[in-house]
Chains A and B, each alone.
Chain A
Amino acid sequence: EAQVTQNPRYLITVTGKKLTVTCSQNMNHEYMSWYRQDPGLGLRQIYYSMNVEVTDKGDVPEGYKVSRKEKRNFPLILESPSPNQTSLYFCASSLVGRNTEAFFGQGTRLTVV
Chain B
Amino acid sequence: QKEVEQNSGPLSVPEGAIASLNCTYSDRGSQSFFWYRQYSGKSPELIMSIYSNGDKEDGRFTAQLNKASQYVSLLIRDSQPSDSATYLCAVKVGELVFGTGTRLLVSP
Contacts and interface: CB of A to CB of B under 8 A. Distances in A.
Interface in A6-55: 33, 35, 40-43, 45, 48
A107 interface: yes
Interface stretch (B13-21, B38-46, B62-70): B38-46
B8 interface: yes
A72 to B, nearest CB: 18
A90 B44 contact: yes
B52 to A, nearest CB: 10
A107 B34 CA distance: 20
Interface residues of B, number: 22
Contact of A99 (B44, B49, B90, B99): B49
B67 to A, nearest CB: 13
A106 B43 CA distance: 5
A40 B31 contact: no
Contact of A40 (B44, B45, B46, B100): B100
Interface in A45-79: 45, 48, 58
B74 interface: no
Nearest to A105: B43
B49 A107 contact: no
- Chain B interface helix/strand/loop/mixed: strand
A80 B96 CA distance: 28
A100 B90 CA distance: 12
Contacts of A90: 43-44
A107 B99 contact: no
A48 B95 contact: yes
Contacts of A58: 95
Interface of A: 33, 35, 40-43, 45, 48, 58, 88, 90, 92, 94, 98-102, 104-107, 109
Closest 7 CB pairs of A and B: A42-B100, A98-B31, A104-B43, A43-B98, A101-B46, A98-B32, A107-B43
6 contacts: A43-B98, A45-B96, A88-B41, A99-B32, A107-B42, A109-B41
